[in-house]
Structure 1
């Protein structure tokens, strides 16, 4: 289960960033926000045996310009969305929603 955030106009962003900031700054923002979101997911994750919480990992791809975070258990979607027998216990979407705003603010700060 992954949450994705995409932006249109990346080419314009890169051109502007060449003037305002280095691409290393963007990579740092991606890495730090991915790590923060991973920590938030782990904090919000319901714990029974702790297996799902320990399975939440992050991965930085695309040369540092993309980050993914999420649980790697087969049953995590059932916990996140619930079933007809079990109420939902969301932990991925709330972490994503909080981190999305922080990520956008961090990128906007680079543009100034």
Structure 2
């Protein structure tokens, strides 16, 4: 009695596992950059009562492939862009501009 065991599609499985590992790495990069952006915004936010700083938070979306970071305080846009009575005190855009270059470099490092 002869028995044999064969695996069909092992090459496809290996390719899928390689992709899954790289997707996991992308999720890690998104999460770490989101956390860094969150911290940068909190440090740059103007503080009076501390409510604005505490309202800045991060949430991961799209299975970890998107990070949403920002303030939930209803007066945040007035501080970011200013009003006719108050000068702008931007904290979102400057933080984002710094972090986007770091994020881009991290993703390029994954590709290599």
**TM-score tier (shorter):** 0.7 to 0.9
Q: Residue in 1 aligned with 2:64?
A: 64
Match runs of 1:22-41 below 5 Å:
22-41=22-41
Q: Over aligned residues, Cα RMSD in angstroms?
A: 1.4
CA distance in 2 between counterparts of 1:61 and 1:51 reads 24
- Structure number with larger C-alpha Rg: 2
- After TM superposition, give the deviation of residue 83 of structure 1 in Å: 0.2
Deviation sequence 1:30-81 (CA, Å, 0-9, x none): 0000000000000000000100000000000000000010000110000000
CA distance in 1 between counterparts of 2:32 and 2:68 reads 12
Match runs of 1:12-91 below 5 Å:
18=19, 22-91=22-91
- After TM superposition, give the deviation of residue 18 of structure 1 in Å: 2.9
- After TM superposition, give the deviation of residue 22 of structure 1 in Å: 1.4
Give ranges in structure 2 of 5+ residues lacking alignment: 1-17
CA distance in 2 between counterparts of 1:58 and 1:74 reads 17
Aligned residues: 95
Deviation sequence 1:12-39 (CA, Å, 0-9, x none): xxxxx839x6111000000000000000
Give ranges in structure 1 of 5+ residues lacking alignment: 1-16
CA distance in 1 between counterparts of 2:50 and 2:19 reads 44
